[in-house]
Chain A
Amino acid sequence: MRWVRGLVGLAAIGATTSGLGVLAAAPAARPLQLQPPVRRIVSLVPAVTEMLFAMDAGNEVVGVSSFDHYPPAVETRARVGALVDPDFERIISLRPDLVIVYATQGDLIARLDRAHLPIFKYQHAGLADVMTTMRTLGARIGRASEADRETTRIERELDAVRASTAGRPRPRTALVFGREAGALRGIFVSGGVGFLNDMLVAAGGANVFGDVSQQSLQASAELLIARAPEVILELRPDEKWSDDRLRQETAVWKALPTLPAVRSGRVYILAEDELLVPGPRVAEAVRLMADAIKGTGLFSATPAEHGTGPGPF
C-alpha cells in the first residue's frame, strides 16, 4: 500500500544510515503484567491494523490511519491521520487504551505519554519482523494464541512457497517499485536489505542489486544494462491500471530491448493490493511474486526480436 512505499522512500532519504534493516518491533516500556485488557485500539499503521483484524481483534479497533483500506471493515472506523499528520485531538477523543504508532513519531509519542495513553511502537523492518511484530502485539493485547495461529499459518505458507521454488534456478531479478508512468525514467529498485528484498529472495529470485546495502536505489539505464536482469518484477498496487494499460506499461520496457528480461518477455507488472504491506497477507504477496518469477504471472511483454536484435539507432 501507499504508506509502505512511503517508508521505502523515507528510508532512501535516510540513504546511507541504513540501520533500518536490523530493527524489530518494540513494545512500549511499560510492565506487561499490570496492563488491563485492551478494549479500544487506535492504529496509525495499516499493516498493524491488518494484523489486529487477522488475530480477531478487529472489534477492538476504533481508529485507523488515513491510508487504511484493508480489511473493508476499516472504512467504518474513525480516521486519525497518518505518519506525518497524526490528529492528536481525534486520537484522545476516541479514548483509546492502546495507540499503535510508528517509532519515528517522536512528537506524537511524547504527547501520548503526557496524556498517559499506552503506546505500541511499530518499526518497519524485514520479512521475519512481520511475525515478530505479530507475536509481540498478540501478547500485548492478550491474544497470544490468535497471534501464534496466524504467524504459524504465514510461516507455513512461506515455507510452501520456498519449497515450490527450491531446486529451481534463481533468476537474476530487478524488483522495481517506482517508475515514471509511460517512460523508463525515475526507476527505483529494491537494494539488498529490507522487506522487499526479503520477499524477493523468499519468492525464489536473486536480487540483481543485492550487493547494494540500501533499501532502495535509483537504477539508471547503464546500471540496468550492466546488471542484466533476467526477470523484471514491477510492483504497482496503487494505480489501479486496466489490463490494457498494464500491457502498455509493460511494453515501455522495450526501450531497453537488450535486457535479458525484455528479450525473453519476462517483465511482469504486479498490481495486487497486498504486495507492499508487511502484514498478514505477506505470504500471498510472496506467492504472487514467486508465480511471476516462475513464469506463470499474468502480464508479460511480448518477447522482443531474438537473434541480432535492434541496433543502437
Chain B
Amino acid sequence: MTGAGSPSLPLHRGLPPGALPLRRGLPLVALCFVAMIVAVGAAPFIGSTPIRLAHVFSRSMPFADNVDAQIFFIARLPRALAAALVGGTLAAAGVIFQGLLRNPLATPYTLGVSAGASLGAMVVMTFGAAWSVGGVASASLAGAGLAVLVVYWLARARHSGLSTTVLLLAGVTLNAFFSALILFVQYLSDFAQTYRAIRWLMGDLDVASFAPILAALPLVLAAFVVFAWLARPLNLISLGADAAASRGVDVERAQRLAFFSASLATGAAVSVGGPIGFVGIIVPHLVRRLVGSDHRLVLPASTFFGAAFLIACDAVARTILAPLELPVGIITALIGGPFFLWLLIRRR
C-alpha cells in the first residue's frame, strides 16, 4: 500500500520527509538492538563492588553464601533490566508524543503524566504510612492515570474530536497545577519526607528484585502492541491530519490510541524508576538522525537505544561516586540539558 504512487518521493508513499528506505534503515535498527543486548549483558559486571566472575556462575557454592552471585543476580541484573524497561519505554513514548502532537519538543512528560505520577507518589510518601505493600509504585501509577483522564476529558470537552492544541494546553496547565499540589504536599511533610520525595523525583532504578519489573510489564507490553500498530498512522499524520484522513486513517482514533498507550506506558515506567528526565527527548532525536523519520524504524530503534542509553547512564550513576550513588536523573539531565538547548538553537 505504502509503495503506491510515485516510488521516488517519500511523501507519496505516505512517509514523512526525511524517511529512510526500510532496506537501509533495518540494519541500523538491528545495530540499536545489539547495543541494548550488549548493555544488558555488560551492566551486571559493572558496579561499586568488585565481584569474582568465577564465583558468580559457580554451581558448587550455595547461593546463600555466594556474595558475588547475590550482587550479580539480586542487585545488578534486575537493575539493568529495570533500566532497559524504563529507558526503552520512555524513548518510545517520546516518539509517540512527538508524532501525536507534531511537536519535536514534546516529551513523555509534556501532558502531565509524570506530574500526576509524582503527586500520587508524594501523597503516599507523606500521608500513606498506613498504606500496604507496593504503595508508592501503585500510587504513582494511579496518579498518572488520573492525569491522563483529566487531560483527555479537557481535550474532548470543547471539541468534537481530539484537539492536539487543547491537549497540549491542558497538559501543560495540568503539569503546573499538579506541581503546585506537589509543593503543597511537600509543605505539609516533614524534612525527611521532603528529602525522600526529592530523591524519588531524581529517579532511582535500584529495584532490588524482579517484582517491580514484572508488575509494570503487562501495561508496557500492551502499549507496545499499540505502538507497533501506530507506526503507519503516525507516518501519515505527520503529513497533516487531512492528508492522513484522505488516505483512510481514522485520525481521531489513532490520536486517542497514541495518547492513551503512550501515557499509560509512561506511567508504568515512572512507577518503576521515578520521573527520569530527558530520555524521552534525547533518544528519539538522536535516533532520527540515524534512521530518518519513518516511525516504523524510529520506534524500534528508539526503544532499543533508549534501553541501552539508560543502562549506561545508570552504570555511571552507581559507580562514579561509589559507595555513594548519584541519582540517575542527574546523569540524564546533565547530558540532556545541553542537548535540549542545542536542539532549540538548531531549529532557528
Which of A's residues lie within 8 Å of B, judged by CB? 2-3, 5-10, 12-13, 67, 83, 177-178, 180-186, 188, 209, 212, 214, 217-218, 220-223, 225-226, 228, 238-241, 245, 248, 252, 255-258, 263, 306-313
Contacts and interface: CB of A to CB of B under 8 A. Distances in A.
Contacts of A185: 136, 204, 206-208
Contacts of B190: 2-3, 5-6, 67, 238
A182 B134 contact: yes
Interface string B313-342: 000001000011100000000000000000
Interface string B186-219: 0000111011101110001011111110000000
A212 B204 contact: no
Nearest to A309: B64
Contacts of B191: 2-3, 5-7, 9-10, 83
Given A182-B135, A185-B204, A238-B129, A222 B67 contact: no
Given A9-B194, A218-B199, A228 B204 contact: no
B66 to A, nearest CB: 8
Contacts of A221: 74-75, 79, 206, 208
A83 to B, nearest CB: 7
Contact of A223 (B48, B79, B195, B212): B48
A141 B98 CA distance: 66
Interface in B272-286: none
A184 B208 contact: yes
B128 interface: yes
B92 to A, nearest CB: 25
B137 interface: yes
Q: Which of B132, B198, B206, B210 has the most CB of A within 10 A?
A: B206
A83 B190 CA distance: 10
B71 interface: yes
Given A9-B192, A12-B195, A178-B196, A223 B323 contact: yes
**Leading 7 A-B pairs by shortest Cβ distance:** A6-B191, A309-B64, A9-B195, A312-B73, A5-B192, A222-B75, A221-B208
A241 B209 contact: no
Contacts of A257: 64
Given A2-B190, A257-B64, A308-B62, A13 B135 contact: no
Most A Cβ at <10 Å: residue of B128, B131, B132, B323: B323
